[in-house]
Amino acid sequence: MIATTLNEFIIERQEEFPYAKGELSRLLSHISLAAKIVHREVSKAGLVDILGEAGATNVHGENQKKLDVFADEKFINALRGSAECCGIASEENEEIVIFDSEVARNGDYVVTMDPLDGSSNIDVNVSIGTIFAIYRRVSPVGHKATEEDFLQPGRSQVAAGYVIYGSSTMLVYSTGKGVHGFTLDPSIGEFCLSHPNIKTPHSGYIYSINEGNYKKFAKGVKKYLKYCQVSDEPTNRPYSSRYIGSLVADFHRNLLQGGIFIYPKTEHDPCGKLRLLYECNPVAFLVEQAGGKATNGRGERILDIVPKKLHQREPLYVGSRNMVDKAEEFIKEFGD
Ligand code: AHG
Ligand code: MN
Ligand code: MN
């Protein structure tokens, strides 16, 4: 049997997309092209001069790795070439990147992205990823994109997805009609449909959090972690602790197997670490589409938060619905 490729699938499903046919197909196919280029570099990372620091820091004061910079450039170039996108907000750039050609000014979409997620895992051959979200612009077509185009709540996403560069490379996306996963067949250079209509279990057995920060967690988080570790047959506890340190990889595993991922606020980081626009929102969109849940631990749905800043951070509780609800109960009772 011949597998359905990503491009075939998008074209088959474009009727479901509420806006002009072909627009989203072009955007997604350009994103998938950049993903293949990044995959190529990642897979030979130990052989070529792509490991290590690039020698600069990004807007968050983090050292940029060469692959962060490489991926950022490839995705920006691909989206510039799509003719549908008028601007990008990327983790690696302090300001929005505006495409100012006549064609781009007429583009209806903006994209937010984390071009390379899991930077600390690049040099050690552990899964990393790319995360993206697509919005309709709110500024008038024919003009340059503005910051308002990017400061929309996550519920306005028209599509979101991620690429995981793992033991195989996969692209997982949703346009609001379910979540679909495609595995790259490197021998033909195509993403092939491997995980149609992904649904996440309502309860799982995995909790994912950086427990090295335990002392800095609030009482509610600490109590929830203890709850995860206590034996209780009917609820299949203790749960297993799994933490890779690449959001994409931790999220992907929990999406398929069921689980909860938490990056809470701490004493030192009152908003946590993860960025709302290009980390929290896309995974929140995907998890809801798969039947799961994403909140900031204080009962607020991630997708309803109206961003005030491009690089705003937000605590993230995401995964199986019953597990997120349980964690929230603890936060409510003991505080976050
Ligand atoms: P990035 O590499 O894009 O900066 O993201 C890293 C993020 C995320 O992928 C991961 O979940 C988290 O940082 C891990 O942080 P800790 O090392 O603090 O656990
Ligand atoms: Mn990231
Ligand atoms: Mn990143």
Q: How many domains does the chain have?
A: 2
Same domain, 146 and 286: no
Nearest CA to ligand 1 atom 6: 118
CATH number, domain containing residue 252:
3.40.190.80
Same domain, 103 and 80: yes
Same domain, 101 and 248: no
With beta carbons less than 8 A apart as the criterion, state whether 38 and 53 touch. no
Strands 169-174 and 157-165: antiparallel
129: nearest Cα among 74, 171, 78, 88 = 171
Last residue of a domain, one of 195, 225, 246: 195
- Residue 247 alpha carbon to ligand 1 centre in Å: 6
Same domain, 263 and 152: no
Cα 216 from Cα 15, distance rounded (Å): 49
pLDDT at res. 45: 67
With beta carbons less than 8 A apart as the criterion, state whether 191 and 163 touch. no
Q: Is the CB of 213 under 6 A from ligand 1?
A: no
Query: What is the span of the domain harbouring residue 330?
Result: 206-334
Q: Is the CB of 130 under 6 A from ligand 1?
A: no
32-35 CB contacts, 8 Å cutoff, 24+ apart: 32/6, 32/7, 32/171, 32/191, 33/78, 34/71, 34/74, 34/75, 34/77, 34/78, 34/79, 34/130, 35/130, 35/163, 35/169, 35/171, 35/184, 35/191
10: nearest Cα among 1, 21, 18, 2 = 21
Same domain, 284 and 249: yes
- Residue 114 alpha carbon to ligand 3 centre in Å: 5
What is the position in ligand 1's atom list of the atom closest to the CA of 60?
4
Mark residue 83 as left, alpha or beta (left: phi above 0; alpha: psi -120 to 50; beta: remaining).
Answer: left
Cα 68 from Cα 122, distance rounded (Å): 9
Q: Please give the chain's pLDDT, 336 residues, in tens.
A: 679 999 999 988 888 878 877 888 899 999 999 999 999 998 886 666 666 777 777 777 776 778 999 999 999 999 999 889 999 999 999 999 999 999 999 999 999 999 999 999 988 999 999 999 999 999 999 999 999 999 999 999 999 999 999 999 999 999 999 999 999 999 999 999 999 999 999 999 999 999 999 999 999 999 999 999 999 998 889 999 999 999 999 999 999 999 999 999 988 899 999 999 999 999 999 999 999 999 999 999 999 999 999 999 999 999 999 999 999 999 999 988
Same domain, 95 and 187: yes
Q: Is the CB of 108 under 6 A from ligand 1?
A: no
pLDDT at res. 50: 64
Same domain, 137 and 274: no
Same domain, 125 and 242: no
- Domain assignment present for 35: yes
With beta carbons less than 8 A apart as the criterion, state whether 263 and 207 touch. no
Cα 66 from Cα 200, distance rounded (Å): 34
113: nearest Cα among 205, 35, 188 = 35
- Domain assignment present for 260: yes
pLDDT at res. 57: 79
Nearest CA to ligand 1 atom 15: 245
Cα 281 from Cα 335, distance rounded (Å): 24
H helix intervals, 83-193: 102-105
Same domain, 191 and 230: no
pLDDT at res. 77: 96
Buried (b) or exposed (e) across 214-241, using 16+ Cβ within 10 A? eeebbebbebbbebbeeeeeeeeeebee
50: nearest Cα among 69, 63, 77 = 69
pLDDT at res. 48: 65
- Cα first-last separation, the chain: 51
pLDDT at res. 123: 86
C-beta atoms surrounding 95 within 10 Å: 10
pLDDT at res. 46: 66
Cα 80 from Cα 126, distance rounded (Å): 30
- Residue 68 alpha carbon to ligand 3 centre in Å: 6
- Residue 117 alpha carbon to ligand 1 centre in Å: 7
CATH number, domain containing residue 116:
3.30.540.10
